[in-house]
Amino acid sequence: MTRTLLLISLAACSACATLPDAPAQRALYVDLRKAVELSNDTGWVVDRVQLEGNAEHAMRSACQVAPFERDDLDAWISGQLALEGGSARDVYLKHGHDLGAASEALALERTRSLLRYAQEHAGEDCPFWLEPDPEFRGVQTDDGRFVALAETFGYGSAVIERGIGGFGGGGGGRLLLARGFGPRITVGVGAEVGGTGAFVKNDDGKRGIDTTFTAGFPVLLRILNYSRIFDLEAAPVLRVDPGNPLPPPGVRVSLGAGLDTLRSSAFMPYGLLWAGYEYHPGFHGNPPDHSIHVGTRVGVDWAP
């Protein structure tokens, strides 16, 4: 299991680009690049329109970074562009008008354009309460912050019990307390409550709906690549059936992938698709069961 999780982590970060070494420059770059990627997802055609549309978020970060640091970041991005083979247009033409081949160069160019837009307007538009901070950690990540992750979730299930397959589903809500370690890693623990139901055979051999309340205690590793999220999770899970003895806990492991949005004030919404495997041991004559879940999670990252 440890080896599998490590391989998945490496795969999730395989597209992670090099980041600047200087902390404030790194934080500003991640913030600007995230804004660019989200704009790319919705369709970036006219530079002027997109730069103006992202100005509020760009200035919120750029105003907290000293002008010389912004200049150094501009030079760093230009160096990365050189490593990509030049301008996005040059790469596009070199690869036979393949826009996919030029996607990284185009993202770098747009990030640099957003940085230069912020540089040009910083003297006029930066409010007095946003001063350069040499320890700036960014706005759009959890780096160095304790955050709360509040989520709702739902899923459909394929269940195997007594060697017979069935179908079910469930949902609920959960709250995790987490901390960011750098711009790409967030680790959290928390609790969830919900309910589950499965259409399976009962003791008489007839199919019926088996419903229970559930409680879980997830441990989460979140890997971020700008606006992309990859979740690795393990959780002990209790099924609570009122009037019956409390069974031993089962265990669930899951993977998730999705997108987050730009942080507005203290809140950063996100959404994921996830899939997981859950096992519950036998208890009081009931056989063990295995479930495969596929569902969605929608949440908000709150940095107080």
In this predicted model, what pLDDT tens digit does every residue of 153-211 receive, in sequence order?
999 999 887 667 778 889 999 999 999 999 999 999 999 999 987 776 555 555 556 77
In this structure, are 154 and 289 located in the same domain?
A: yes
Q: For residue 122, what pLDDT is reported? A: 96
Task: Classify residue 138: in a domain, yes or no.
Answer: no
pTM to 2 decimal places: 0.87
In this structure, are 227 and 167 located in the same domain?
A: yes
Which ranges of the chain have pLDDT less than 50?
1-12, 14-15
Task: Classify residue 141: in a domain, yes or no.
Answer: no
In this structure, are 79 and 161 located in the same domain?
A: no
Q: Which two tokens stand for residue 19?
A: 């980041």
Task: Classify residue 137: in a domain, yes or no.
Answer: no
Task: Classify residue 75: in a domain, yes or no.
Answer: yes
Q: Which of 118, 1, 265, 100 is nearest to 91 (CA)?
A: 100
What whole-number distance in Å separates Cα of residue 168 and Cα of residue 200?
8
Q: Which two tokens stand for residue 298?
A: 């929608």
Q: For residue 208, what pLDDT is reported? A: 58
Q: For residue 1, what pLDDT is reported? A: 46
Q: For residue 205, what pLDDT is reported? A: 56
In this structure, are 228 and 286 located in the same domain?
A: yes
Identify whether the C-beta of residue 293 lies closer than 8 Å to the C-beta of residue 254: yes
Helix (H) or strand (E) holding 205: none
Domain of 169: which CATH number?
2.40.160.20
Q: For residue 17, what pLDDT is reported? A: 62
Domain that holds residue 207: 146-302
Q: Which of 129, 128, 290 is nearest to 198 (CA)?
A: 290
Q: For residue 203, what pLDDT is reported? A: 56
By CB atoms closer than 10 A (0-12, 13-18, 19+), residue 82 is exposed
Q: Which two tokens stand for residue 161?
A: 């019990």
In this structure, are 59 and 180 located in the same domain?
A: no
Q: Which two tokens stand for residue 183?
A: 């711009």
Q: For residue 196, what pLDDT is reported? A: 86
In this structure, are 117 and 237 located in the same domain?
A: no
**Count of domains for the chain:** 2
